Amino acid sequence: MKLYFSPLACSLATRIALYEAGAEAQFVEVDGKTKRTSDDSDFQRISGLGMVPVLVADDGRVLAENAAILPFVADRFPAAALAPTDPEGRTRLHQWLSFIGTELHKTIFVPLLDETAPEAVKAYALARAPKRLDWLATKLEGRSYLLDTPSVADAYLFAVLNWSAVTAIQLRNWPALAAYMKNLHARPAFARAFEEEKALWIAELQRRGQPLPAIAV
């Protein structure tokens, strides 16, 4: 398997899932600006949208979209039990992957993180955050995971909520979310994936001569 990723992008979720599963995989870094890969390819030719994650399966199939790749990894490594297999559990998993992808990732965080987004767009996104994060916090109150056991949905939510550190969203305003993140970071696969990609992210900023945000130093 080969995962095309950018440091601390949403593709972190797939790395976490692969580590949770103890899977053998090759990781190819994509420069989000130039779209060149660490193995010297043009990523735009691999993914027409130029977006990570892209996963190349063992049989050569090229897969895209978090909501497709994450269950694929879970099913490929069933012993890790990273996704329910019963219809009710599977529906709940898809519900979470859809919520994270559409309501959090794209509605809130993409505009806040996009350097080219106008201030009015950022304000629009920020104004939508409390309702969604309040609701999420009620669902996570007293729980360690979105489902009964750790799943690929937790990996995706961890990758997305992690971005709050470089936005105006203060996770400490939602103690259930802050506790959830801390709990996940205590899992070796999450911590390993996060620390490895944080180091790569810092290296990328340094290569570009960009200042390091306070959380990186």
User: Which residues are at the interface with ligand GSH (CB under 6 A)?
Assistant: 9-10, 32, 50-53, 65-66, 101
- Which has the closest alpha carbon to 189: 154, 216, 137? 154
Contact predicate 11/146, CB 8 Å: no
Nearest approach, Cβ of residue 53 and ligand GSH (Å):
6
Q: How far is the CB of 47 from ligand GSH (least distance, A)?
A: 8
Measure Cα distances from 138 to 55, 141, 160, 177, 180 in Å.
Answer: 33, 5, 18, 9, 12
Q: How far is the CB of 210 from ligand GSH (least distance, A)?
A: 16
Our CB check for ligand GSH shows the closer of 51 and 189 to be 51
Q: Where are the alpha helices (DSSP H) in 29-174?
A: 43-46, 66-76, 87-98, 110-113, 119-140, 152-161
Please list the residues that pair with 4 across neighbouring strands. 28, 54
Q: Toward ligand GSH, which CB reaches closer, 34 or 138?
A: 34
- DSSP 3-state of 42: strand
Question: Is the Cβ of residue 10 or residue 16 nearer to ligand GSH in the bound state?
Answer: 10
Closer CB to ligand GSH, 44 or 173, in the complex: 44
Minimum gap (Å) between residue 110 Cβ and ligand GSH: 6
